[in-house]
Chains A and B, each alone.
Chain A
């Protein structure tokens, strides 16, 4: 992106904290507490500076206790069916909070839709928007949610 990010340092910091949480868990999968502390810090910074986190990041953080959700390590992933629709249910092993995603391969996030790109371009052209840009810098560790 040619556009200069406004809060580049803050984005880098968020990115680092997210990676640090992964690094801690990769080294010692039982040290959930420290990973949780980093994710909690990441979340508070993002909230303080009003930076939006990418959905792929948000979907890997527990809403209850800020644990980094990694299937098999800190979370369980199960398939559930309700009537004809099937869901993926991710449950945090620390606090029991669940996340439910509908299994829909055709689902497109707002950023992935062509309208969003158009809007983003217009924003960049006019420079009228005060909205912070999406935090795409956080996706250097790619964790794809189902």
Chain B
């Protein structure tokens, strides 16, 4: 009887939650899953290998990497490995604006939650205080002013925040790297427009949570 229970079709009310995913998402998952789980054919360029046979004289075997680590050493990649892996680089084929729209939606909901609903009656100071410590990944930012005029007007979803630059993706599917120094950015949420002075923001994304900001009298670019 247990087996029959296992094979029984899903109850109708649960079908929406547990049932098959929508088309595009399922397709993307399947493709990635197959790509990562199927073994790559090792000798697919065998023909090429045989026609252009290189004879290396004085060949030295590559040094074996030490795989066994002492238990004391922390897990994690060395800087060299990180560089080889390109750990945080977004590959060109993934740089598509519409893929990041859900991220922007999520960010909006996050800010609404953070600012307690963000009603029009909220004081701008309150919103500013919250946004200062908030995460900006996923926000749509626009360069309002800059010392370099070609940056002005650039707008897109912020994907990565580094110490000195923002990486944004524009509507035209282009990944732009914009230095924080000497630029003013604007962020809009529910009618509240906040300006970010890039020169005051020159730190890593993770450092801002702990930092205390001072009130400055005047800020130039």
Contacts and interface: CB of A to CB of B under 8 A. Distances in A.
A44 B110 contact: no
Interface of A is mostly: helix
Contact of A41 (B86, B106, B205): B205
Interface of B: 25, 28-29, 31-33, 35-37, 75-77, 81-82, 85-91, 93-94, 99-100, 102-103, 106-107, 110, 113-114, 130, 133-135, 137-138, 159-160, 204-207, 209-210
Given A12-B113, A20-B106, A20-B138, A29 B206 contact: no
A116 interface: no
Interface residues of A, number: 38
Contacts, number: 118
Contact of B206 (A48, A64, A93): A48
A34 B36 CA distance: 18
A72 interface: yes
Interface of B is mostly: helix
B102 A23 contact: yes
A48 to B, nearest CB: 5
B94 A48 contact: no
A33 B110 contact: no
A31 B99 contact: yes
